Every structure is written in C-alpha cells, then in structure tokens.
Amino acid sequence: MDRLKNKTILVTGSAGFIGFNVSKKLLAEGIKVVGIDNFNDYYSVELKEARNKLLEKFDNYKLYRGNLENIDFIEKVFEQEKIDRICHLAAQAGVRYSLEHPDVYIQTNIVATHNLLKLAKDHKVSDFVFASSSSVYGTIDVFPSKEDFNLQTPLSLYAATKQSGELMAHAYNHLYGLRIRCLRFFNVYGPWGRPDSALYIFTDLISKNKTIDVFGDSAKDYTYIDDIVDGVVNSIAVDLDYEIINLGNDRPIELSRYIELIEKELGKKATKNKLPPAVGDVQKSCADISKAKKLLGYNPKTPVEQGIKKFVAWYKEYYKIK
C-alpha cells in the first residue's frame, strides 16, 4: 500500500459493487481516487447512488459521471487529472443478461475497455488492473482452474468479452509496455452486493415468502468482498508486468448448502422451484489461488457461513427488514 501514497488511482465502475468497496479502502488509506461511472440502470440506480454518497464523504474522492464508451469524455478526465494507475472494474456484468443484450457487452466490455487502454498508453499511465472473470474457463472441467489453462470455450458472450479484454491487455503490454494485471474474480458476494446475484435474489424472495427458482445443482467458489478488495488493492500496488491472476476462495459450495445458510440467517424456509441449469451458466468453479498467494500475498479469510451472515445483516438493515 505504501507504493500508492501520493498516487492518483482511476477506478472505473466506482459506484458498482466491487468498485465502491475498492475505492472505499483506497480512500480510507488516504490515497486519491478518481471515480468514473455512468450509473446505468442495469440494476437499482438508487443503490449505486447510495454507495457513491458514502464515497463522496472523502475529500480525496472525485467522481466523473459519464460513459466509458465515449472516448472524448475519458480524454477530458485525463486532461483534468494526472492519473498514475488504473483499476478498470466497470463492465456490463452478468451472464444471463448477455443472452438478450449482446450488443451492450461488445460496447461496454470491449469498446470501452479498448478506449481506456488506448488513453492509458497515450497518457503514460504505468499500471492497469483489469477485472476479468472465472467464466473464461468455460467448458474446462479440470479443477481447480489454473491461469495457464488453454482457453477456447467460453459459454456466454459475457465470458467471450472478458477473455477479449485479457487479450487486448496483453497486446498493449507487449506493444507499449503498459503493465497489466488481469484478475479473474470467482463469484464475489457480500454487503452492498449486486441485485442480480443469486445471494441477493434468494435473500429478497425468501424474506418475502416467495418461491425461488433454483437452476441446476451447481457447486461454485464464492469469494467474500473484503478478501477480493485485499487482492485488488494489492494488485494495484504491486510491481509486476503482465499477469493473469485468479482471485477466488478455492472452496466450492453446493447451491443447496448456500441456500440453507441464507435460510438460517433469515430464520425462514425457502420454497424452491427446481429447474435445469440456465443456458450459459457455469455449473462448477474452483480457483487455484496459489499464484495470487505468491504474487499478491492473497489470503482469503472469510468462510461462507460468516460471509452470508454479514450479507443478510446488511440486507436487513439497508431495507429496514425486521
């Protein structure tokens, strides 16, 4: 973290789930954060505004509202701010939405990411962190997933755009020496989480005594937000060239167990509508995190029992549920 003292970090997607939490940690350490977000309505804009309001309490935070697909807008931000490092978390996330809205993924995850890489090069930014995803492992059924697997089989356009981001990043590193870390996140969850996540949807429906749709019987690696934040912040600060790094938990949890834990915290039983696996969804994930441990000192500490407890407590407080 000392390496980031007196540096200005551009965090894209600063009103998003991970961007908000990463920004908060950097700001609390006294590091200057320039945030960019367009507050799109993919999910509750009110939730994004509430996160941003907490960031605005810090004097060392400056927000630019705008769309990263517009290169002139980003250019203006670079003209006004001296950006040292970039943490690019803005994206059109979510696998299911990509089935109906493929164009948005090309624009936000490919065009906007390229805009940012280009301006990083033009403005001589030294380091760039890119949010990739475990979904790039696609059909590979060898576990745990390792960064050096040969990837050719994304199951969704979302995964394909994330892999494209990694490839563009590699080209920029090779051609222009921009130092880049691509972080493959494995199902991040926790307080202030995304309303399109399984945890959020299940908590919402179970608390309202409504039926939940359960797609397949997956076993996924769920990673608590504070652990992810540690990994991301260290990856911004670290002295590395081009690396792809898994940030997961290496302990997959079956969906049925995950639901049991939510039921326990809510003190309510779920009514389940069991359905086949959703198209494009990966049914199993498990990260090999040895590279993250070695390069970033990454050490996820939060067991899922504790993480779900914290999420449900936040949910009840935020929505004033007794």
Ligand X SMILES: NC(=O)c1ccc[n+]([C@@H]2O[C@H](COP(=O)([O-])OP(=O)(O)OC[C@H]3O[C@@H](n4cnc5c(N)ncnc54)[C@H](O)[C@@H]3O)[C@@H](O)[C@H]2O)c1
Residue 108 is a binding residue for ligand X (CB under 6 A): yes
CA dist., res. 96 & res. 98, Å (int)? 5
CA dist., res. 206 & res. 204, Å (int)? 6
Q: Which of 9, 33, 112, 168 binds ligand X (CB under 6 A)?
A: 112
Residue 187 is a binding residue for ligand X (CB under 6 A): yes
What is the nearest approach in angstroms of ligand X to the Cβ of residue 2?
26
Nearer of residues 92 and 207 to ligand X, judged by Cβ: 92
Of 61-69, 146-154, 171-179, 273-281, the window that binds ligand X (rule: CB under 6 A) is: 61-69
In sequence order, what are the beta bridge partners of 130?
A: 88, 182
Q: 189: how many CB neighbours lie within 10 A of its CB? A: 23
Q: Which of 11, 33, 87, 90 binds ligand X (CB under 6 A)?
A: 90
Q: Which of 93, 125, 160, 259 binds ligand X (CB under 6 A)?
A: 93
Size of the site for ligand X (CB under 6 A): 28
Q: Give the residue carrying structure tokens 């475990």.
A: 134
What is the nearest approach in angstroms of ligand X to the Cβ of residue 271?
26
Give the number of C-alpha atoms closer than 13 A to the C-alpha of residue 321, restricted to the C-beta side: 16
Which residue type, as a one-letter code, is found at position 183? L
Residue 67 is a binding residue for ligand X (CB under 6 A): yes
CA dist., res. 28 & res. 173, Å (int)? 30
CA dist., res. 228 & res. 184, Å (int)? 10
What is the nearest approach in angstroms of ligand X to the Cβ of residue 179?
19
What burial class does residue 150 get, using C-beta atoms within 10 Å of its C-beta: 0-12 exposed, 13-18 middle, 19+ buried?
Answer: exposed
Nearer of residues 93 and 245 to ligand X, judged by Cβ: 93
Residue 116 is a binding residue for ligand X (CB under 6 A): no
88-125 as b/e: b if 16+ CB within 10 A:
bbbbbbbbebbeeebebbbbbbbebbbbbbbbbeebeb
Reading the block at residue 307, the tokens are 């993480």
**Residue 158: active-site member:** yes
Residue 87 is a binding residue for ligand X (CB under 6 A): no
Q: Which of 23, 37, 243, 286 binds ligand X (CB under 6 A)?
A: 37
Nearer of residues 76 and 177 to ligand X, judged by Cβ: 76
Of 36-44, 201-209, 210-218, 279-287, the window that binds ligand X (rule: CB under 6 A) is: 36-44
CA dist., res. 173 & res. 170, Å (int)? 5
Residues 117-136 that bind ligand X (CB under 6 A): 131, 133
Q: Between 71-80 and 112-122, two packed helices, what is the crossing angle to 10 degrees?
A: 30
Q: Which of 89, 119, 151, 312 binds ligand X (CB under 6 A)?
A: 89
Set 42, 43, 64, 158: catalytic member: 158
Of 25-33, 90-98, 146-154, 285-293, the window that binds ligand X (rule: CB under 6 A) is: 90-98
Rule CB under 6 A: which residues touch ligand X? Answer: 13, 15-19, 36-40, 48, 67-69, 89-93, 108, 112, 131, 133, 185, 187-188, 194
The residues carrying an active-site annotation are 158
